[in-house]
Chains A and B, each alone.
Chain A
Amino acid sequence: MTDQHVRTGARTGAGAPAGHRLDPQPGEVIDRSRTFTFSWNSRSVAAHPGDTIASALAAAGERVLSRSFKYHRPRGLLTASYHDPGAIVQVDDEPNVRAAHRLVAEGMRVSSQNTWPSLRYDIKAVNQLAGRFLAPGFYYKTFIKPERLWPVYEKVLARFAHAGTVSPDTPHGYHDKRFAHPDVLVAGGGPAGMAAALAAARAGARVLLVEEEHALGGHLRWGGPGELDVLAELRAAVAATPGIEVLTDSAVLARYDDNWVAVVVRGLPGGGERLIKARVGTLVVAAGLIERPYVFAGNDVPGVLLSTAVRRLINLYAVRPGRRAVVLTANADGDAAVRDLRRAGVDVAHVADARRGEDVVRVHGRSGVRAVELADGRRIDADLLVTATGWTTPMALLNMAGVRPVYVPRAARFVPGEALPDEVLAVGGVAGDGTLEQLRAHADAVGAEAARRASARRATMLATVPTRPDGALLPPSDQRPVPIPELPLDDHPELFRGRTHGMVDFSEDVSSADIHTAAREGYDSVELVKRYTTVTMGPAQGKLETVNAVAVLAEATGSSIAATGTTTWRPMHVPVTLGALAGRIHEPVRHSPMQPAHDRLGAVPLVAGQWIRPDHYGDPAAEVRAVRERVGIIDVTPIGKLDLRGPDVPALLNLLYVNKWSKLEVGRVRYGVMCAEDGVVLDDGVTGRLAPDRWLLSTTSSGAATVWEWVENWLQTEHPDWQVHVTPLTTAYASINVAGPRSRELVGRLTEGVDLSEEAFGYMHVRTGRVAGVEDCVLWRIGFTGELSYELHVPAAYGLHVWEALLEHGRDLGVAPFGVEAQRILRLEKGHLIVGQDTDGQTSAFGAGLDRLVKLDKDDFVGRPELAWEHETGGGPRLVGLQPLDGSVVPPEASLIVADGSRILGRVTSSRMSPTLGRSVCLAQVDAAHAAPGTRLTVHLPDGSRITARVTEHHAHVDPDGTRLRGGSGGPVGPVRETGVPIARSAIAPTGPTVLEDGWEVTARRSTVHLTLADLSSVTKMAVRAPHGGAVAAALGTRFGRIGRIVRDAHGALVVGSGPGEWLVLDVPGAQDALRSRLVELVAATGEFASVVDLTHGRALVRLRGQRSADLLAKVCAIDLADDVVPDGAALRTSVAAVVTDIVRDDRGGVPSYLLHCERSSGQFLADALLDAGAEFGVEVDAYPEPAPGP
């Protein structure tokens, strides 16, 4: 509205604004053409679009909005901004809504909080009378003695606590988050913030401008005509300047190391908040200044407002804040408020000028101002008291950046101390005072300098990333800093507390008298006073309270404000919902290829680490019997498998295992135990030699990642000279253990190329062959369960096919699937230890009963020193088999073994009821002195009772001689059955109808939308290892961080430099043999030590394609994906949705596109996370792209 003439006084007649609403104001944000209603404590109230809850209530004449925390004093507006302590209300089922910030909507149900029976007659106001019992520190003083009354106190206090209500039926919100990498982030959208953002953007920076209010402008919005003109000019410039992303109704929550900045975006459609995690080049703090309340008796009575509050009400919302006012002013903004009040028709009865020493003593009135008492003794009737006594610098963000505040007495405020870190700058009121022109010029220079510094940091970063193409130009780093003009700091009278005591912290009901009391009681430092009185610990977190609290404490202790100092500001700067912080929770889940079968069979799932495993299929005891009597199959895919190649593998095995490995022949398997440097058992597993230079090392499921990192550690740091390549194949193979007397018969019906007779394929041997039509399967004869058994490792895409073939062709043999629980019982019956279950962080190899394995006559192996010394001294706990005398009692695991009533000798580590023996069996750790077979031990059960148990001769309770391992039913082996063409399946379940392509079951769905995700898991993938900068690298034509193509036919296999000395070569599905031969030939020609490992089954691979691909990835990946960091042709590995993922940028047809791949078992989770992240962009699943051949 441009109408400059505003009628004063009340108006009558049709169309007159209702209640306290004024005629249209030039800068008003309400839309008078529409009126709607909402409810306030069940009463209907009128509002316009653009009103906040508080402005609509003020227009309707409502003055009392809430009751204070402890004393339940009536409260109204004070600041009329987000931080207003009196304006916190309940909206529908949402508590603690800031009424002066939240825009009112039609039909909104608003109610006051913490009031009973009603806002007017709040019964807890009796607290005011009990004030002397609710003195500061009363929580602390209450909870002393007697302790038995504490629950009573808690119950009573809980009723009085500051709270809205939360409904358990509130629908769950969808909270999202994303990452951002702005060059410059400007925190605050007032004139200085806007000027800085414009200057930075014009200097070429990507700018994120964050403003807490609903519109840019800061204090200009409630200013005079000149300020409104500047506001319009700046707003138009921001809208017209490319490179500035504006977020309103959003707040910078915190600044962490290296300018890691959290921003919350509020006011999203449908409610909810959204978090942005930004790595910022330069942070520009433009937080302005916050007006401070004055401390005097009655300063919290409704009707006492700050000058900015009345100027907002009048100019933004056209609300007259009262009828008759007294104004206490100490600065130009207070003077401007006087002019605005007069313009709005308020009778300004008296203006007390603090610059001339005038003062206000107290306010009279309880639920509203009735009169104001001046220092000269006069008492002025009024319903409104306006104070303008000073400004506080919002120090929080700067303090989080390590900047300490310094008090300047002549300016009556704290300002940033000297040292701002290089990547943080300040503009506007935070940096100083001056005219609007001076502040704009200063901000302009700072904005340009912010962009320059960000550009320099970016250039440094770009110089180090391997994804940048050779010869790419770095951004010019302009050496000369932009000169920044000085800003003056205006004088201001020091006005904190008047002549009487009043509220310092309105939210926590802490008065200046309370602070004096605390100081007298000895809590005389600012840190102690804060915690003892809870001053500054309310929702505003000190923005309105800190300086007054420090001033009052200084006067109470006879010190100065500067010497008293402030407390530390910590994240978060403003409150944020937990939902926003939680966002999309990425907890990766790993699936075996056989999971669909387990689901169909009704397996009860067990979450083990990240894996979903079948715990049992309904009756674990029956599963145990099936294995002992017939044959069972178990999915053991999570077992760690490492492919080891190279001439130095035996040296590696000798170093890491406690036993000897030099003489392991091809086709043989050996059990090994690894210890850490302190001799403690780290992991165990079997390792087999498949070929002269090829070993397969297995680990426990939970140790898979740890052992791989362990092996790499020794190779990279201690023995970089050794020629060994390690490739994890844990998820490249689906692993199935076929166990039981009839296992040989079952395996024989499906296996070709392997002689399964006992003489040809003995215990602890390994073979490779074809199983159920699937090539390149590994079979080894090991015996965790104690029965004749074969562990099959099948290329993972065929895992389900082989599993189903086993169940189908073993039906007449009585085959049954068995789960983790049954396996635990079986191995316990056989006395086989589980690392981490029967050993702990202090169990050495000797303690685990592995004496025979430890070869101290070997040269150095890991753990040798400690093991050698332990061998000399003896003692320590031992692992023993244990059987309770009463076989019907199953002692819970971790039950303690005791002697003499209370001396602890050890504990039960594993314990189950054995279906085979019909009695309980255990493993236990017990002091060596009590470990002899036959010893009677007392076991203390958790319920307090005690039982007696006997140490057994062996760990094994069933078949200690191990005859069953080498036995078998003797049934016929073969002939081989027809199992049909094996179907390969991706880790990612196809959506919708499927087709068979190249032997893979893939989705038939096509999509032509602008953003698609296609499952390319069927493509051929070969991993090549070779020296990083050698002849193989030259022959492959690319290196780490980049991609290239091997030209062959019309297309080329895609070569990705995936790591130092690592390449991944991608080709069409079904090309494994051809590609492997070509690569083996290429590698052999160089004579370098190199390996080629087929990872076709070991990786889940998808292609993301579309203009918004990078936006989708920015929601689940913290890497900066800008075109200069990750251009077309770049390859890197990072974390995507908490899964370690390779990202390869491979644009197609000019459209941005990324290949993403991860280890197979996380593929479904990764695909789901990408589709979830892309939902807001309309992503759809597409089939493997045709007709363009090649990945």
Chain B
Amino acid sequence: MIQLPCPWCGLRNVVEFRYVGESRPRPDPATTTPEQWREHLYIRANPRGQVLESWYHSAGCRRYLRLQRDTVSNQARPVEGAE
């Protein structure tokens, strides 16, 4: 089972975390169009390689954190900001 580097707690087993999703900027709800909004809700890049994503450390520090992870090797490193 893979481990994730929580920026607060250190390296922990992945089962301690809840996967939130790919990290993408949220469109401004006041000005967004239905197409842009639904793209934000449902479309994922799902690349083979580096991806920026959010996780929640539910069985640990209970912080939302951002990681850059390689989807092939599962090597991950923390990234600034909790988005």
Contacts and interface: CB of A to CB of B under 8 A. Distances in A.
Contacts of A257: 1-3, 74
B5 A1134 contact: no
Given A1133-B61, A1135-B59, 5 more contacts: A256-B1, A678-B41, A1133-B9, A1134-B12, A1135-B16
A886 interface: no
B41 A713 contact: no
Interface in B1-42: 1-3, 5, 8-13, 15-16, 18, 20, 26, 29-30, 32, 34, 37, 41
A178 to B, nearest CB: 15
A876 to B, nearest CB: 15
A864 interface: yes
B74 A464 contact: no
Contact of A716 (B3, B12, B30, B63): B63
B13 A1118 contact: yes
A1060 B59 CA distance: 14
Given A709-B18, A1134-B12, A1060 B56 contact: no
Interface string A445-468: 000000000000000010011100
A258 B3 contact: yes
A869 interface: yes
Contact of A1133 (B3, B60, B64): B60
B58 interface: yes
A1140 interface: yes
Top 9 nearest A-B pairs (CB, nearest first) are: A464-B10, A465-B10, A1135-B59, A257-B2, A716-B64, A1140-B59, A260-B1, A865-B29, A860-B29
A1040 interface: yes
A1134 B11 CA distance: 12
Question: Among B9, B54, B56, B74, which residue has the most Cβ atoms of chain A within 10 A?
Answer: B9
Interface in B36-71: 37, 41, 54, 56, 58-64
A629 interface: no
Interface of A: 256-258, 260, 279, 461, 464-466, 677-678, 709, 712-713, 716-718, 720, 860, 864-866, 869, 1040, 1059-1060, 1118-1119, 1132-1135, 1140
Given A713-B20, A717-B83, A860-B29, A464 B5 contact: yes
A399 B41 CA distance: 39
12 contacts: A464-B5, A464-B10, A466-B8, A466-B9, A712-B64, A720-B82, A860-B30, A864-B29, A869-B34, A1133-B9, A1133-B59, A1140-B59
Nearest to B30: A860
In which size bucket is the chain B interface? 20 to 34
Contacts of A1140: 58-59
A866 B37 contact: yes
A260 B15 CA distance: 13
Contacts of A1118: 13
Contact of B54 (A465, A717, A860, A1133): A717
Given A257-B74, A864-B29, A717 B9 contact: no
A1040 B61 contact: yes
A709 B30 CA distance: 25
A1119 B59 CA distance: 12
A703 B79 CA distance: 30
Contacts of B20: 713
Nearest to B60: A1133
A461 B11 contact: yes
A257 B74 CA distance: 8
A257 B20 CA distance: 21
Nearest to A863: B29
A273 B35 CA distance: 56
Contacts of B62: 712, 1059, 1133
Nearest to A457: B11
A716 B1 contact: no
A50 B18 CA distance: 51
Contact of A1059 (B3, B11, B16, B61): B61
Nearest to B13: A1118
Contacts of B34: 865, 869
A1040 B63 CA distance: 13
Nearest to B54: A717
A278 to B, nearest CB: 12
Contact of B10 (A256, A461, A1059): A461
A1098 to B, nearest CB: 15
Contact of B64 (A260, A717, A869, A1119): A717
Contacts of A720: 82
B2 A258 contact: yes
Contact of B82 (A260, A717, A869, A1040): A717
Contacts of B37: 865-866
A1088 to B, nearest CB: 19
Nearest to B12: A1134
A1135 B12 CA distance: 11
A1132 B8 CA distance: 10
A860 B64 CA distance: 22
A863 to B, nearest CB: 9
Question: Among B15, B54, B62, B83, which residue has the most Cβ atoms of chain A within 10 A?
Answer: B62
Contacts of B82: 716-717, 720
A865 B32 CA distance: 8
A1040 B8 CA distance: 9
B64 A713 contact: yes
A866 B33 CA distance: 10
B41 A465 contact: no
B82 to A, nearest CB: 5
A754 B58 CA distance: 39
A1042 B34 CA distance: 49
Contacts of A1040: 8, 61
B79 to A, nearest CB: 13
Contacts of B18: 709
B83 to A, nearest CB: 5
A584 to B, nearest CB: 16
A709 B54 CA distance: 13
B61 A677 contact: no
A678 B29 CA distance: 12
Contacts of B5: 464
A1118 B20 CA distance: 23
B41 A677 contact: yes
A860 B3 CA distance: 37
Contacts of B10: 461, 464-466
B26 A718 contact: yes
Nearest to B41: A678
Contacts of B30: 860
Nearest to A1140: B59
Contacts of A1134: 12, 16, 59-60
A465 B9 contact: yes
Given A718-B26, A865-B32, A713 B2 contact: no
Nearest to B42: A678
Question: Among B54, B56, B59, which residue has the most Cβ atoms of chain A within 10 A?
Answer: B59
Contacts of A256: 1
A260 B59 CA distance: 19
A975 B78 CA distance: 62
A1134 B13 CA distance: 10
B29 A1132 contact: no
Question: Among A257, A678, A860, which residue has the most Cβ atoms of chain B within 10 A?
Answer: A257
Question: Among A257, A465, A717, A866, which residue has the most Cβ atoms of chain B within 10 A?
Answer: A717
A464 B11 contact: yes
Contacts of B13: 279, 1118
A918 B25 CA distance: 55
Contacts of B26: 718
A965 B43 CA distance: 47
A168 B42 CA distance: 49
A1135 B15 contact: yes
A967 B62 CA distance: 45
Nearest to A1059: B61
A466 B8 CA distance: 7
A159 B39 CA distance: 56
A464 B13 CA distance: 15
A818 B22 CA distance: 45
